[in-house]
Amino acid sequence: MWIDTHAHVSCMENPVEVATRANKAGVEAIINICTDTETLEKGLELKEACPYVYNVASTTPHDVDDHGAKEWEAFASAARSGRLVAVGETGLDFFYEHAPRKKQEELLAKYCALALETKLPLIIHCRDAFERFFEVMRSEYFRKPGALPGILHCFTGTEAEAKDGISEGWCISLSGILTFKNGAAIRNVAKALPLDHLVIETDAPWLAPQSRRGQTNEPAYVIEVGEVLAEVKGLDKAEVAQVTTANAKRIFKI
């Protein structure tokens, strides 16, 4: 059995059907990422229909300007009431930079404080910003009492950046990019990292794996990511499923 550690199921059409297909395919848990109040509400409803779906919520760094402040209270309330298994995906994105860097950093710090308060892990989106990200995290999170290991989601950084995260006890999440024909760089990074700090994801409905490029991605397709990871590391598929699943359960306490 596998775990999809990052999928935006509640923004997809027919989310119950999507989740059910994944479960029948061998995905025992789905971490559903909610990025606004609408997807949070739908995610909580999805959890009622599909108990193997677990919700996570925050404003993404892309959306800080649009609704970062407005939706804070809804996300904070869900975290404080035990309806979330993590806070995220928060972080920094200096590639697209849809919001000013200072605002991204301010909201990241605020979500770090929420994670510490609620004793939840963080799911992080970080692109072209690792140096500044680690500076903020060392100030706002890593050295704070009660800080839990989290996940660097859809990782596309360098081996050194991944190992900086692992040194803090965090896991590196690999997406369908691992399967792409032009994904050699991330495959090389994955090969160099210890399996006990790796998890897998789809980031559905985006980043469908190589065999389904151009299609809408689904959590059921996370298995292809796991299979390619097994090939990259020269390991049995069953071992990769077992260890990545155990890693996810450890992080999310599910």
Question: Could you give the angle at which helices 15-25 and 37-49 cross, rounded to 10 degrees?
Answer: 50
pLDDT for 65 equals 76
Written as six digits, the tokens of 85 are 């298994």
- b/e for 211-237, b at 16 or more Cβ within 10 A? eeeeeebbbbbbbbbbbbbbebbeeee
CA distance 59 to 70: 10
What is the signed CA dihedral for 195, 196, 197, 202, rounded to 10 degrees? 60
Question: What is the CATH number for 84?
Answer: 3.20.20.140
- pTM value surpassing 0.95: yes
Q: How far apart are the first and last CA of the chain?
A: 14
Q: If you search the block for the tokens 């609620």, which residue do you land on?
A: 118
pLDDT for 155 equals 98
pLDDT for 248 equals 98
CA distance 63 to 156: 21
Give the residues of the chain that fall short of pLDDT 50: none
pLDDT for 4 equals 99
Domain that holds residue 161: 2-252
pLDDT for 68 equals 66
State the total domains in the chain. Answer: 1
